[in-house]
Amino acid sequence: MKNTFVLINGLPGNVAATMARAVVSDPRFQLIPVSLTGPDIREPSFQVGEIPVTLIKPDDRKTAVSKIRQQFSDFIAIDYTHPSAVNDNARFYVQHHIPFVMGTTGGDRNALESDVSRGNIPAVIAPNMAKQIVGFQAMMAFAADQFPNLFAGYSLEIKESHQQEKADTSGTAKAMVGYFNRLGVDFKPEQIQQIRDPEVQQTQWHIPEQYLSGHGWHTYTLTAPDGTAVFEFKHNINGRQIYVEGTLDAVLFLQKQMTAPMGSKRLFTMMDVLHPQGES
Amino acid sequence: MKNTFVLINGLPGNVAATMARAVVSDPRFQLIPVSLTGPDIREPSFQVGEIPVTLIKPDDRKTAVSKIRQQFSDFIAIDYTHPSAVNDNARFYVQHHIPFVMGTTGGDRNALESDVSRGNIPAVIAPNMAKQIVGFQAMMAFAADQFPNLFAGYSLEIKESHQQEKADTSGTAKAMVGYFNRLGVDFKPEQIQQIRDPEVQQTQWHIPEQYLSGHGWHTYTLTAPDGTAVFEFKHNINGRQIYVEGTLDAVLFLQKQMTAPMGSKRLFTMMDVLHPQGES
């Protein structure tokens, strides 16, 4: 099987850089030495291992993409740019027939989805690229649908720890509150306990020091009214490896979509990537 | 709504006694002051709160049940007896048109199911009456069906703690191994770690002293190959309250089955009890 050519946009940003290093060291992929970047980036290029990647500002992207097309024919874009660029980038990919994985959060998500649906290229759009977390959320959605009030009367505690810089509450934790509510648990998103103090993270949560600057730990604890039954679910992620792997799985999924007979569906999520048959 | 009459068989056994006390203190139910028991039981009666319950040996059960039928018309049996009695009891209930909840484990389960299926009374047969655990197992089965290999490459650790008297490995933990295998995890039931030492249970697991003689704690920990992602699921049950509640829910489910137009289905499990529409 030939390598999949990948265009990673958003360099020199941290997540894009992590993705680029992962692509370079993964024999299934080949990194295109170009990256679409923002208007304020000063560096002309960014070094990924031994590969110098040319950074292209918005004004020059059309020309750059035609050259890439001539040289690489088929390729897939990974977007880890900036919330302010999400919608414009997506329209650009659709217009230039570039299948893409949108890992960037924010922007106008409804516009994003309708732009992709109206186009003729497949895209995976996912605010959370961690396959296993998405799978666990699907398990919770299944339980909420099938067994409403299974945990009626139970009390819930949700604690989440992230790097000190993260100001808002975990979006994953907030989504989980909805499932727990449908399972009969009385709980408001405001009751989620945010842990942001590195000392607490290190001494009480035992989060390794190297990940204090980048982690997402979540604990959900359900306790029966009389205290005799406790159910607890945890997902503790250090660093970005799980998101890198999920993003690359999404790229391979798009690659398959391109070679398979094209259905009418353009807009995919990580749920589609999880399903081996690509059902939704 | 009128009370549901309940015949609890297996007194003076511990689980039957716990069920009987729960029924007596629950206004939705009324305890029939009779219990079918084994041939070796010497006491003629057993006191449940203020109610003396007459213990009936197998030889006298036909007569006893006709009298109960005359007095109480419709009633539901709860069976917490002995593995050696499971099949004979079930045939007796079917023959005498007594809907029943079979909480007793063991016996010939295939024969049990076919006896019930051929009869014309509904029964709930469940080796595990804890609704929330059954719900969690259903979530795992869903994930195993929908997302095979979601945790491929992950390592798994399973630890379970039960009272010292329990010689075999937790059946729930063994069932879970099957789901984890389908999720891509290489793990054998023999790798389940059994904790039976009360000192370890108290000092390391912090299980309350009063429950050292009766508890079921389970922890499943999935770790990514590079250690950066950990998913953990726990269900920690002290005492029998969760099983009591599940059994009573099963009784109410049978009560509904008796008043609703009878379908062709006779054999139900806790999954049916969990579904609010009684779908299977």
Min Cα separation A63/chain B (Å): 40
Q: Can you give A230-256 as a three-state secondary structure string? A: EEEEEEEEECCHHHHHHHHHHHHHHHH
CA distance A127 to A104: 7
Catalytic residue among A82, A96, A166, A174: A166
**Residue B7 scores a pLDDT above 50:** yes
B232/A234 Cβ within 8 A: yes
Q: Which of A77, A93, A121 is the last residue of a domain?
A: A121
Which residues of chain A fall below pLDDT 70? 1, 276-280
Counting residues of chain B whose pLDDT is more than 70, the rounded percentage is 97
Same domain, B94 and B47: yes
Residue-range definition of the domain harbouring residue B22: 4-121
Contact residues, A window 122-141, toward B, CB-based 8 Å cutoff: 130-132, 135-136, 138-140
- Order of strands across the sheet that contains A155-162: A193-195, A155-162, A215-223, A229-238, B229-238, B215-223, B155-162, B193-195
Q: What is the pLDDT of residues B164-207, one digit of tens each?
A: 988 888 989 999 999 999 999 999 999 999 999 999 999 999 99
B147/A142 Cβ within 8 A: no
What is the per-residue pLDDT for B48? Answer: 97
Residue A178: how many other CB atoms lie within 10 Å? 15
Q: Which of A121, A147, A170 is the last residue of a domain?
A: A121
Report residue A179: phi and psi, to 5°: -65, -45
B147/A138 Cβ within 8 A: yes
Same domain, A36 and A83: yes
Same domain, A113 and A17: yes
Chain A residue numbers touching B232 (CB-CB < 8 A): 232-236
Q: Which of B91, B121, B151 is the last residue of a domain?
A: B121
> B128: pLDDT confidence band, cut at 50, 70 and 90?
confident
Q: What is the pLDDT of residues A109-129, one digit of tens each?
A: 999 999 999 999 999 998 889
Residue A173: how many other CB atoms lie within 10 Å? 20
A242/B228 Cβ within 8 A: yes
CATH of the domain at B157: 3.30.360.10
Same domain, A109 and A26: yes
Counting residues of chain B whose pLDDT is more than 90, the rounded percentage is 88
A30 burial level (CB within 10 Å; 0-12, 13-18, 19+) = middle
Residue with tokens 């629950």: B26
Same domain, B114 and B156: no
User: Is A162 annotated as catalytic?
Assistant: yes
Instruction: List the structure tokens of B43.
Output: 């006491």
- Order of strands across the sheet that contains B76-79: B29-31, B4-9, B76-79, B100-102, B123-125, B267-268
Same domain, B117 and B51: yes
Residue of A25, A131, A133, A142 best to disrupt the B interface, most CBs of B under 10 A: A142
Interface predicted TM-score (ipTM) of this complex, two decimals: 0.88
CATH of the domain at A108: 3.40.50.720
Chain B residue numbers touching A241 (CB-CB < 8 A): 224, 226, 228-229
Provide the domain count of chain A. Answer: 2
With contact defined as beta carbons under 8 Å apart, do B92 and B74 qualify?
Answer: no
**pTM, rounded to two decimals:** 0.88
Chain A residue numbers touching B150 (CB-CB < 8 A): 131-132, 135, 274
Does A32 map to a domain?
yes
Same domain, B23 and B91: yes
Does A247 map to a domain?
no
Instruction: List the structure tokens of B223.
Output: 């770790």
> How do B155-162 and B215-223 pair as beta strands?
antiparallel
With contact defined as beta carbons under 8 Å apart, do B89 and B9 qualify?
Answer: yes
With contact defined as beta carbons under 8 Å apart, do B95 and B117 qualify?
Answer: no
CA distance B182 to B233: 17
> Does B147 lie at the interface with A, CB-CB under 8 angstroms?
yes
Does B194 map to a domain?
yes
